[in-house]
């Protein structure tokens, strides 16, 4: 769970370069599918946020807009819950969807996929919406699926980078000159306190200790047992 949180924290501070790539994806999706709205949504606690919105004409959605997820009635909420593609050709003719909030914005058709983090947690969705009935061909479905997988690859790279950076930080903490007592082998930390060797290394790395007796010490201290 800590690793998921680490990735989520990094995602919340996405670089401008990566957001730029995602903006291009949203714009391209809207253009290729000839729809007014292409969106990349992000889950944050009990809310869902428009992270990226296509700049296509007629798109009523804007980055930063948020809605509460539980019981919102949004198309994307169902995608997040089921972790499956959702296709709604015409919400006005569908009893389940005819009262969903997006209809107020004129968006009566929807196609969306879940975006997953490397650990399987839901990051959000990628979706398109149209003001007209739209059944979205198999080609369009495959295209949107490819963009979903591209975004997930970006998230995987973020996770890998985060893990490597954390590992490098741990390695660096044990680099350099370590003041160690020539007799008791305690190590002096940055605050001037002397710590047992095991305690110091454990607090500065992921290493854990288990104690035993080496052959030389066995002969010196426990000769009667040999």
- pLDDT surpasses 60 at 195: yes
CATH ID of 2-167, from 3.30.450.40, 3.40.1280.10, 3.40.50.720, 3.40.50.1820: 3.30.450.40
Digit-coded pLDDT (tens) for 44-100 = 889 999 999 999 999 999 999 999 988 899 999 999 999 999 999 999 999 999 999
Is pLDDT at 4 greater than 50 in this prediction? Answer: no
Residue 2 has pLDDT above 50, yes or no: no
pLDDT at 173 over 70: no
In tens, the pLDDT along 128-170 reads 999 999 999 999 999 999 999 999 998 888 777 655 555 555 5
Q: Which residues contact 219 (CB under 8 A, 6 or more apart)?
A: 226
Average the pLDDT over 104-119 and give the result.
Answer: 95
d(CA 34, CA 38): 10
Asked if pLDDT for residue 1 goes beyond 50, the answer is no
- Cα 125 to Cα 118: distance, rounded to the nearest angstrom: 15
CA dihedral of 23, 24, 27, 28, whole degrees rounded to 10: -150
Tokens 């007796």, located at residue = 213
More confident residue, 38 or 72: 38
Which residue in this structure is represented by tokens 């690793």?
3
Q: How confident is the model over 74-85, as pLDDT tens digits?
A: 999 999 999 999
**What is the reported pTM?**
0.70
The residue ranges of every structural domain in the chain are 2-167, 176-225
Handedness of CA 160, 164, 169, 170 (dihedral sign): positive
CA angle 61, 64, 70 (to 5 degrees): 85
CA distance 90 to 108: 5
Q: What does the pLDDT read at residue 95?
A: 93
Q: What is the pLDDT of residue 26?
A: 98
- Rounded to an integer, what distance in angstroms lies between the CA atom of residue 218 and that of residue 226? 8
Query: Which of 105-114, 140-149, 178-187 has the lowest average pLDDT?
Result: 178-187
């Amino acid at each position: 769970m800590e690793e998921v949180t680490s990735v989520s924290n990094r995602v919340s501070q996405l670089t401008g370069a990566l957001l730029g790539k995602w903006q291009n994806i949203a714009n391209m999706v809207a253009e290729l599918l000839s729809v007014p709205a292409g969106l990349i949504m992000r889950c944050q606690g009990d809310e869902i946020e428009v992270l990226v919105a296509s700049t296509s004409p007629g798109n009523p959605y804007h980055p930063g807009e948020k809605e509460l997820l539980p019981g919102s009635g949004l198309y994307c909420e169902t995608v997040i819950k089921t972790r499956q593609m959702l296709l709604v050709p015409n919400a006005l003719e569908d009893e389940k969807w005819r009262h969903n909030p997006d209809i107020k914005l004129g968006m009566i058709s929807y196609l969306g996929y879940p975006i997953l983090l490397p650990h399987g947690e839901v990051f959000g969705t990628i979706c398109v919406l149209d003001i007209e009935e739209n059944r979205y061909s198999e080609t369009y479905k495959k295209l949107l699926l490819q963009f979903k997988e591209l975004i997930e690859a970006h998230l995987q790279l973020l996770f890998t980078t985060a893990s490597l950076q954390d590992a490098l930080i741990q390695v660096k903490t044990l680099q350099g000159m370590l003041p160690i007592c020539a007799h008791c082998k305690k190590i002096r930390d940055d605050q001037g306190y002397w710590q047992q060797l095991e305690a110091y290394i454990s607090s500065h790395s992921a290493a854990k200790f288990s104690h035993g007796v080496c052959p030389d010490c066995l002969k010196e201290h426990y000769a009667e047992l040999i």
